[in-house]
Amino acid sequence: MAEKLALMRDAYGETLVELGRRNNNIVVLDADLSPSTKTSLFAKEFPERFFDVGVAEANMISIAAGLASVGKIAFASTFAVFGVEKGLNQFKQSVAYPNLNVKLVTTHGGISVGEDGSSHFCIEDLAVMRSLPNVTVIVPADAVETRVATRAIAEHFGPVFMRLSRPKTPLVYDDGYRFMGKELKFEIGKSITLREGRDVTILATGLMVAESLLAVQELAKEGIDAGVINFHTIKPIDREAILRAATSTGALVTAEEHNVIGGLGGAVAEVLVEENPVPMVRVGIQDTYAESGPWRELFAKYGLTSSDIVKAVKKVLKRRGR
Amino acid sequence: MTPFDQKTAPHDERLIKKLSEIALTIRRNSLIMTTKAASGHPGGSLSCADILAAIYFHQLRYDPENPNWGGRDRFILSKGHAAPAFYAALAIAGFFPTEELWKLRKLGSMLQGHPDMRKTPGVDASTGTLGQGLSIGVGMALAFRLDGKDNRVYVLLGDGELDEGQVWEAAMSAAHYKIDNLTAIVDYNRQQLSGCTEKIMNLEPIVDKWKAFGWHVIQIDGHDMKQILDALDEAEKIKGKPTVILAYTIKGKGVPMLEKLFLAGDCKYHGTPLTETELARALEELYG
């Protein structure tokens, strides 16, 4: 069966328009990347509520803070590397610290940016944003989840960081946020168990959710029954789900398109170490800078494919003792 | 007179006398607060005291009984380290009792080292890391315009703060969006933490810079109350572009022993409070 692909960015832009129609207080900012982030869709329908500040991310984030302090729900978008790093102190001081209603939604997270290369990659956003008090961190797994996540963060009061991807990516969910025929509910902080497994649990986020589902099929051929949990929320992390998986399978693998330091793997390890230190292995970028290239090839070179997850599962099972 | 219609008072001698007396109290309390806290920034608090007096006791609409009143104007202390002067003004305005001032920077105090909108009534933006206040003000001004409201936004910047690139990003965007419901004021005391601005990072030609960024520029003596009041009025009348008031001030203003040190290029009292002995002498000089 050919995989279905879709752009998270389209889903984001279209959902912003839908939200904008329902709520006059939604305003959107961008830093000269609206055709890419798809905030251009909102700009077209609501030009008076859209502010393109030019290539000035720090200014964008503080302006968003000002708008929010007067009661607006401010969505600010650019690429992850620019939004997180060029406006970090602004986000911390003028948004996170005073707990203002700003949603920093960045596209082009991770290395799936591809050909643009390392200057445009962001493999540290989750670690950075996760360490800021008051900030909720969301990473949808596909375009369908992006739609429900965008609605959810608009409803949620407070600062949010959400990471989206550049390329068309495999759809994990069917329209209407359904998985294997079952309609799901998106709740911030509540992970989604896509598959229960007896032997091992894969905890994945973002594009690695689809890779994890592929890994499950490969593992099944070798008689390994793996479960998959989608952690669309990195913070607050779903502690209960982690501990349930630790108890039921006793071996965990985390998978993320992020440095292995400080992201989902870090968050899961923190919970395990304090509560139930079962063996775990982290799949992610091994603390290195990647390079230009087609994103699928980059995933293969930098250890982010289903076969890397398979290897990690075997490693963790060996450690647990099978 | 209620706080809401204080702006109607004419700029006569009576008003100027009242505001000058308030400025004196702001200076006095800023010095006492920082000495009691054994930390804080006296120099830049003294240089902006007259501006704060004019803004809080003539220009700004607010209700100390209801700090979150939607009709209030917004003031942002972008040079957040002048918090002592700001807090002194807020206490006089009635946002909290004067006794709170003596707890500045102490554990559990509502008065943080730098302004905190979640802890202090009357504070509308959390600042302290320089360069962000003007951008926040632009956001507020845009929100008021979107809502068709006539609230005004005032942003007080330091001169050293103008070294921050973000100030110029904000300046460019304010002109681009033709924001005229915001007034920026620069406390141009020509001294920053480690020396005079001319030596550390020259700001001149400062008037040309703001004009080139599309702003209406008013230059005043930042310690002449009549000039401050007139400039704030003029700023409100300028339509279609933002206005900046360049207030030429003296760091340590009101206390000759401090003024002399700063003028000689000794910036110790930028971020160091007076000792108890120095404070006693400074207060004598202040009222002398």
- Reference A172, options A198, A207, A147, A138; nearest CA is A207
Q: How confident is the prediction for chain A on average, in pLDDT?
A: 97
pLDDT attached to residue B3: 55
What digits encode the pLDDT tens for the residues B47-71? 999 999 999 999 999 999 999 999 9
Q: Residues A45, A57, A85, A187: which is the catalytic one?
A: A57
Residues of B in contact with A51 (CB under 8 A): 142, 177
pLDDT digits (tens, 9 = 90+) for B259-273: 999 999 899 999 999
Partners of residue A69 in chain B, C-beta under 8 Å: 117, 124-125, 136, 139-140, 143
In a domain, B51, yes or no: yes
Is a pLDDT exceeding 50 seen at residue A1?
Answer: no
Q: What are the pLDDT digits (tens) for B65-78?
A: 999 999 999 999 99
A56: which chain B residues are within 8 Å (Cβ-Cβ)?
166, 169, 172-173
Whether A27 contacts chain B with CB within 8 A: yes
Mutate to test the interface with A, among B142, B153, B164 (most CBs of A within 10 A): B142
- What is the structure's pLDDT at A3? 82
pLDDT of residue B7: 86
What does the pLDDT read at residue B4?
59
Please provide the average confidence, as pLDDT, over all residues in chain B: 96
pLDDT in tens, A89-140: 999 999 999 999 999 999 999 999 999 999 999 999 999 999 999 999 999 9
pLDDT at A174 over 70: yes
In angstroms, the CA A316 to CA A281 distance is 6
A46 touches B at CB < 8 Å = no
- Using the Cβ of A134 and the Cβ atoms of chain B, whether some distance falls under 8 Å is answered with no
| Closest A-chain CA to B175 | A53
Q: Give the whole-number percent of chain A exceeding pLDDT 90.
A: 98
Cβ within 8 Å of residue B6, ≥6 positions away = B57, B58
pLDDT (mean) for A40-58: 98
- Chain A positions in Cβ-Cβ contact with residue B138 (cut-off 8 Å): 59, 63, 66
ipTM entry: 0.96
Mean local confidence (pLDDT), B4-15:
87
By residue range, what is the domain housing residue B138? Answer: 15-287
Residue B8 has what pLDDT?
A: 86
* Interval B228-243 mean pLDDT: 98
Instruction: List CB contacts (< 8 A) between B177 and chain A.
Output: 51
Distance from CA of B280 to the nearest CA of A (A): 36
- Is A56 within 8 Å of B142 when comparing Cβ atoms? no
With respect to residue B79, please indicate whether it lies within any of the assigned structural domains: yes
Report pLDDT digits (tens) over B140-169.
999 999 999 999 999 999 999 999 999 999
Say if B4 falls within a structural domain.
no
Measure the CA–CA gap between B214 and B172, rounded to whole angstroms.
7
Question: Looking at chain A, which residue has its C-alpha nearest residue B70?
Answer: A70
b/e map of B255-282 (b: 16 or more CB within 10 Å)?
beebbebbeeeebebbbebbeeebbeeb
Residue B164 resides in a domain: yes
Q: Do A62 and B142 touch (CB under 8 A)?
A: no
Whether the CB of A64 is below 8 Å from some CB of chain B: the reply is: yes
**CB contacts, 8 Å: A63 with chain B:** 135-136, 138-139, 142, 170, 173
Give the nearest partner residue to B126 out of A63, A67, A94, using CB atoms.
A94
Domain count, chain B: 1
pLDDT tens-digit map of A230-260:
999 999 999 999 999 999 999 999 999 999 9
Chain A interface disruption, residue of B135, B151, B176, most A CBs within 10 A:
B135
Decide: A98 and B117 in contact? Cβ < 8 Å. Answer: yes
- At B1, the pLDDT band (50, 70, 90 cuts) reads very low
d(CA B207, CA B197): 15
Is A58 within 8 Å of chain B by CB? yes
The distance from CA B44 to its chain's CA centroid, rounded to whole angstroms, is 9
In a domain, B137, yes or no: yes
Which domains does chain A possess? 5-170 (3.40.50.970), 189-320 (3.40.50.920)
In a domain, B6, yes or no: no
- Are residues A99 and B177, on separate chains, in Cβ contact within 8 Å? no
Query: What is the torsional sign of CA B77, B58, B96, B32?
Result: positive
**pLDDT per residue as tens digits for the range B95-131:** 999 999 999 999 999 999 999 999 999 999 999 999 9
First to last CA, chain A: 33
**Residue A68 CB burial class (10 angstroms; 0-12, 13-18, ≥19):** buried
How distant is the Cα of A57 from the closest Cα of chain B, in angstroms? 9
A275 is catalytic: no
Please check whether residue B163 lies inside any domain of the structure.
yes
- Tell if the CB–CB gap between B169 and A58 is shorter than 8 Å: yes
Instruction: Dump pLDDT digits (tens) for A7-16.
Output: 999 999 999 9
pLDDT of residue A61: 98
- Alpha helices (H) in A70-202, listed in sequence order: 80-85, 88-90, 125-130, 143-155
* Cβ <8 Å between B128 and A62: no
Kindly state whether residue B71 falls inside one of the protein's structural domains. yes
Q: Taking CB atoms and an 8 Å cut-off, how many pairs form between chains A and B?
A: 104
Residue of B nearest to A96 (CA): B126
Assign residue B58 the CATH number of its domain. 3.40.50.970
pLDDT at A2 (0 to 100): 60
Task: Kindly tell me if the per-residue pLDDT of B135 is higher than 60.
Answer: yes
Under the banding of pLDDT at 50, 70 and 90, the label for residue B6 is: confident
